[in-house]
Chains A and B, each alone.
Chain A
Amino acid sequence: MKEEFDRAFEDQVRAELRTSIVPPATPFYVRDRVERMATRALEPVKGPLLPATFRSRFSGAGGVAAIVAIVAIIGVGLAWRGSGLGPAAPAVSLPTLPGTPGPSFPPAPDAASARAVVMSALAPGLTGVISVDGLGYRITHDGGVTWSSMAAAPATQTDPDFDFIDPTHGFVSSVVVGAAVTTVSVYRTTDGARTWQASQLSLPSEAGWQVDAVSHFSDASHGILLVTRFQSDSLKTEECTLYASDDGGATWAGKGAGPCLGAFIWPTWSSALAGYVTSAQDPSQVIVTADGGRTWISGPLPDVSSGWRAAPQLVLVDGAGRLRLLASMTPTTTGAYTPRTAEVYASSDGGVKWTKQYAVGTIPDSATNLLGLSVYSVSVLGPDYWIALQQGSGPEKADMLVRTLDAGRTWSVVPSTGFTTADGMVWWDARHGMLEGMLMVCDPSGSQCGADHPTVYVTDDGGLTWHQVPF
């Protein structure tokens, strides 16, 4: 009986997939590119093959023109928006940034040699850590101007999130699954990553169960550790335990159940104290903390239960002590993933009850420009000064740096130069930030260009110019 039921469900999945997934024809530029590979291989050797990955939007004979256009678009920024695709957004002047002119950054390396991925960054002292494929971890203490190898990096999992509180105090957690015991480790350094010490939690290993863990420190002494155990064949998280440390990670005490709402739990922090968790299983709920993760409050967002899916982007505590939450809203009644609106909510009771405050602003031509609606990697640089990334739209699809100086009511494009694609970013302060993106590389003739090679950029002028980190 069960077998028949399963087969019926398999048939349903098969039918719906076949109906839903109808790929388009192979684009001409992909066909052209693959044909070029063959042509080059069959011709006498004139030079190396192009890099492996070439984003289609830049391939073809128009590649150079596309790049020039993108640079021009990014370069003129606000002017382009005002004169081209619709009414101009409200004029927003760049904030006056304190300090002296920034240092001279080393020249960008040759494109082919850059292979890097941001792992973690962020500290008042301009300390940050990245990983470089095949080269290990690199650390900076000056906002990315100079880098050095991070010695004695702990043996962690493949994608650790380093958490530096200041130039000397840093933390990272890892999970190592053994045959009998699963060990959760929190490594800490008090000397700028020269040496690391570990505190460990041992759990029995059980077949079919997985363990995940993440730590977060709000200052050099106070931190939390979230440990989740879940069955491999179930999306439901079975156990979620919260631990806390008051001595810089040396000892940990259990604080009871953590903020479990299903699998895929991973807190996103908007500041040292404020963060949120969302669930893939229950999109109507958000869980927030305002005390560095010691306490978590769950509450529904208005409207979410009536056909909308909320994607929180940031949470912060405003001057009046209220929580504010920015969330992109996507209707669940269509197959689209594009947000239709974005709202700012407020809560005066720590996140139990949320009320809608206002819709975030965008320019009227929302079909091609979703400023504010679909931002990601939002960073809080001031109570009302938020900076974020916006996926590019239009044929060039260059990602944009956008910001708001009035808590999301109006957004504008930061006229950045130096990057074209961005996967995420972190900021030390209003001037200094680091961005993970892809390099734009061209073949020797310049006839084909595309985004390839993950790399890292840093800025010291609030995002106006980005410098590729040399490796």
Chain B
Amino acid sequence: MNESRPLTIVSGMVRAIGGAAVLRRESVAIESGDEVFAALTRRHLDSAYRLAWAILGDSGDADDATQDAFALAWRNRRSLRDPARFDAWFGRILINVCRQLLRQRLRQRSRQFGRPVEVDTGPAVSDTSQPTSDRDAITRAMGRLDADHRIVVILRYWADLTVDEIAARLDVPPGTVKSRLHYALRSMRPGLEDAR
């Protein structure tokens, strides 16, 4: 049930989620490689946690995913040759960890042990200003998506990445991203429109 956790670290130019544009300037001033890496991890911690939380919808899982991703990044830091590409490089690691967690959780709970499919898969709702029915509808709609579709929806509509950026981060063709988005929106539409 668990999939192994090999990481394919491939460089790719992916836009930051949350202001990594200053990385190049900062990295110049730092001397040793590990110090550069430490500085990069500190700078990306908050954006990584936010993205993990958005994908996983659960604080405990976001805690795990964030720590897991950074631990894996540290172990594989020698494969990062250009600090300016940390964002893209680390983004793949984080998404991969989140994806594994999501898939593991959905499989375990919905398939083998009969837990409700939707349990813990929706984003937690923290803004009470939005009408309850809307928040519930989007929560349920997201909760019905599998890991791959949920991730592309979050990256596209919450993190505002382009299709090409998502494709690079997921290491899939842009057409696959579009297909997943199309499928996800199609499956979400009835629930969201009914709530209106």
Contacts and interface: CB of A to CB of B under 8 A. Distances in A.
Interface stretch (A8-16, A220-228, A244-252): A8-16
Contact of B67 (A14, A33, A378): A33
Given A34-B66, A35-B42, A161-B112, A233 B139 contact: no
B136 to A, nearest CB: 5
B67 A54 contact: yes
Interface stretch (B19-27, B49-57, B80-88, B162-170): B49-57
Interface string A299-333: 00000000001011100000000000000101011
Interface in B92-144: 107-120, 122-127, 129-130, 132-140, 142, 144
A337 B118 contact: yes
B104 to A, nearest CB: 9
Contacts of A13: 138, 153, 157, 185, 188, 192
A30 B49 CA distance: 9
A313 B115 CA distance: 8
B38 A42 contact: yes
A403 interface: no
Given A26-B49, A27-B59, A37-B41, A233 B183 contact: yes
Query: Could you tell me the dominant secondary structure of chain B's interface residues?
Result: helix
B1 A159 contact: yes
Given A34-B67, A49-B74, A53-B67, A335 B135 contact: yes
B112 A424 contact: yes
A423 B114 CA distance: 11
A56 B63 contact: yes
A152 interface: no
Contact of B4 (A37, A134, A235): A134
Interface in B24-73: 34-35, 37-38, 41-42, 45-46, 49-50, 53-54, 57, 59-60, 62-64, 66-68, 70-72
Given A56-B60, A264-B110, A17 B67 contact: no
B8 interface: no
Contacts, number: 213
Q: Which size class do B's interface residues fall under?
A: 35 or more
B139 A53 contact: no
Nearest to B55: A21
Contact of B37 (A12, A41, A53, A266): A41
A117 B114 contact: no
Contact of A37 (B71, B112, B116): B71
Contacts of A23: 49-50, 53-54, 62
Interface of A: 6, 9-10, 12-14, 16-27, 29-31, 33-35, 37-38, 41-42, 49-57, 59, 117-119, 131, 133-134, 158-159, 161, 232-235, 264, 266, 268, 278, 280, 309, 311-313, 328, 330, 332-335, 337, 376-378, 397, 423-425, 436, 454
